[in-house]
Amino acid sequence: MASMSHLSFSRTTTTSPFFPPSQKPTNSKRHQVPKVTCKNNNNNGSHNNHLNSNAEKQPPPSSSNNNNILGNRRDVLIGLGGLYGSSTLTNNIINPFAFAAPLAPDLKTCGPPTLPAGAKPTKCCPPPSTTVKDFVFPQQNLPLRIRKPAQLVANDSEYVAKYKEAIRLMKSLPEDDPRNFTQQANVHCAYCHNSYHQVGFPNLDLQVHFSWIFFPFHRWYLYFYERMLGSLINDPSFALPYWNWDSPDGMEIPAIFTERNSPLYNELRNANHQPPTLVDLNWNKKDVDTSGNVDANLAIMYRQVYEARRARCFFGKPFRAGQEPYTVKVGSGTLELVPHNVVHSWTGDITQPNTENMGALYSAARDPIFYSHHANVDRMWSIWNSFNRKDIDDSDWLDSSFLFYDENKDLVRVKIRDCLDTKKLGYDFLDQPLPWTNAKPKPRRTKIERVVKPLTVTKSVQFPLKLEKIVSTVVNRPAKSRSKEDKEEKEETLVIEVEFDRRRGVKFDVLINEEEDAKFATPVNREFAGSFVNVSHVQTSISMITDTNFSIGITELLEDLGADDDDSVVVTLVPQYGEGVVIKDIKIDLETC
Ligand code: C2O
C-alpha cells in the first residue's frame, strides 16, 4: 500500500496566511510551493497517485496498518494548523482516529487561471485579506428570504426595480471591492480554473465541478451573493429569482434578463434562444422546432432528479483533500451533467470563441442569468431532500470548506455541513408544481418488438476506444434478478470511464438495449439512459486532458425495459458534439452509484 511517509515538511515562515496576488508565485499549476516536498519526487504524477490512493478510502479507524498514514495525516494537519492558525482543524489533531481529509482552498497560493492565448489577462483571485472569520449563522428570527420563479417576479415591478438597482450598485462598486460584480464573477473563475490549490497539497488543484462538492459550493456562493445584493439596497429580505427551467412556464430565458439597457441584460447569449424559444435540456447544438421540448425536458428531470435516489448518484463522486480532481475516481452527479451543463451551453453565445459567457465556466458568472440558473440548481437540491432523500453523511464532505467574502467585506470560511438547511441560512423557495415527478420515460420498443427483432450486437468492443461514431457493446452484469432488498441496498450502476479535453464542449448520449436505430431514441424513451456533457472551459494551447467517472444508476431502467433477468445489456454510445473523447472502460457494478 502506498504510504505517505515520503512526505516531509519544510515549512515557510508565514506571518499572514494571505498576501497580495502581486507577491504570489507566478503560475498556479506549475509553481512549486515549498511547503510539502516529496523526497521521491522524480515523478510528480506518482507522488499525486500515492496521495490519491490514501485519500480515496476511509479505512476503519482501528486498522493497524493505517498507523503510518494517520501519523502523517496528523502531521499534515498540524502543518496546516500552523500555517493557517485555524481552530477548526484542532479536532482532527486531538482525535487521532479522525481520518478526515476535507478539502480547503489555499488562498495564499491563489494564482492566475489558464486563459486563451492572447486573451486579456484576468485575475480571478479575490483581493487579499489579513484575517479570515469562521462562518456564523445569520440571525434566526428574521422572515425567510423567499426565492421565487423568474417568470413570476417579472410581474412584480417593485421587485424587478430593486433587483436591477442592486445589480447596478454592485457593478458600480470600486474594482477592488470584493463585492464588485466582476469580483463576484471571478469567484467562479477562480474556483473552476485551478487558481486555488488544496490546503496541504500545493500541487493539487481545487476544482468545484465534477464531484460531490458541486452543490454545496454553489449554494454558498449564491448565499453570499444574494446577501450582498440585499445589503446594497438595504433590504435583508431580498431573494434571487430562480430560472424555473424544469417547468413548462419557466422554460424560456426569463423576460427580466432580456430587456436591453437593463443591468440584468448580457449581450453574450445565443441569439437563437431568445423567448419564446424553449430551453432544450437535451441540446445537441442543433436548433429545431422547440415545441416538442416540454416532454423531453420533463422526462430528463424525472431521470436526473427524481430517479437519482442515492446521494452519490445525485451529488457525484467523493473528492477529498489529497486527491487529483481529474481522475476516474472523481465524477459529476446526475444533475450537474444534465441539465446544469446543458443549460450553460444552450445559453452561451455560440458565435464567441468559447461560447461566452454562460457556455464557458471561466466567464459564466459574468452573466446575471447565471445566478438564477444556479438558484434553480440549488432548488433542485432542496426538492430532492423533500423527497425524503438524505444528504451525504461523510465527514470529508461535511467538513470541506470554502472561502468567500461576505456583505461586510469580511473573508469568511464556510463548511459544507453548515449549508444543508437553507432555512438556517435564512432562505427558502416558493413552491411550484413539479410536473416531472410523474414524467417517467417509456420504452421505445415494446416487449413483442424486442422478441421479433432482437438485438444483434453480441460482442464487447476493445477499450480504450476513440468515440467518433455510434458504438454498441455488450456489458456483462455482475448479478441479475436481484431481490427487492438487495436492490434497495445497492444500485446497479453503469460506470463509464471517460477521457476528454476540458477545453471543449462535449456531449454523448448513452442508450441501453438500443443499437442501429440509436438515433431515433430521445429522452422520452426509457432506453435513453443519460448523457455526458462538458461545458467548455477555455481555448488554450495547454491541453486539459481530464479523466472522469461517468456513472448512471440503472436498476429501475432495466426493470422498465424488462431486462432484469438478462446476463448482459447492450450499451450504445451516441456522440453528439465535441472531439477527443476516449472511452477507457465500461462496466456495471453494484455500488451506491
Ligand atoms: Cu460552477 Cu454552473 O457552474
Length of the chain: 593
Give the residue range(s) of CATH 1.10.1280.10 domains in the chain. Answer: 10-438
CA 476 to centroid of ligand 1, rounded, Å: 35
Q: Which three cell numbers stand for residue 407?
A: 456583505
Q: Which three cell numbers stand for residue 100?
A: 478526515
Residue 36 pLDDT greater than 50, yes or no: no
pLDDT tens profile 441-487:
999 988 888 888 889 998 999 999 999 999 999 999 999 999 999 99
Give the residue range(s) of CATH 2.60.120 domains in the chain. Answer: 447-590
pTM of the entire predicted model: 0.84
Confidence of residue 56 (pLDDT cuts 50, 70, 90): very low
Q: Which residue, by CA, sits nearest to atom 3 of ligand 1?
A: 361
**Partners of 574 in beta bridges:** 509
CA 306 to centroid of ligand 1, rounded, Å: 21
Could you please state the CATH topology (level 3) that the domain comprising 447-590 is classified under: Jelly Rolls (2.60.120)
Reduced to 3 states (helix: H, G, I; strand: E, B; else coil), residue 477 is coil
Question: Mean pLDDT, to the nearest integer, of 193-204?
Answer: 88
pLDDT for 75 equals 33
Index of the ligand 1 atom closest to the CA of residue 221: 1
pLDDT for 102 equals 92
Check whether the bond before 276 is cis (ω within 30° of 0): yes
CA 242 to centroid of ligand 1, rounded, Å: 15
Residue 68 pLDDT greater than 80, yes or no: no
Residue 23 pLDDT greater than 60, yes or no: no
Q: Which three cell numbers stand for residue 65?
A: 496498518
pLDDT for 337 equals 98
Q: Which three cell numbers stand for residue 247?
A: 417547468
Index of the ligand 1 atom closest to the CA of residue 214: 1
Residue 93 pLDDT greater than 70, yes or no: no
Residue 84 pLDDT greater than 60, yes or no: no
Index of the ligand 1 atom closest to the CA of residue 374: 2
Residue 121 pLDDT greater than 90, yes or no: no
pLDDT tens profile 228-284:
999 999 999 999 999 999 999 999 999 999 999 999 999 999 999 999 999 999 999
- CB-based burial label for 93 (10 Å; 0-12, 13-18, 19+): middle
pLDDT for 116 equals 53
Please, what is the end-to-end C-alpha distance for the chain in angstroms?
A: 26
pLDDT for 290 equals 78
Ligand 1 first shell, C-beta below 6 A:
188, 192, 209, 218, 340, 344, 361, 364, 374
Nearest-angstrom CA–CA distance, 338 and 317: 16
Question: Mean pLDDT, to the nearest integer, of 505-510?
Answer: 96
Residue 97 pLDDT greater than 60, yes or no: no
Is the CATH number of domain 10-438 3.40.50.720? no
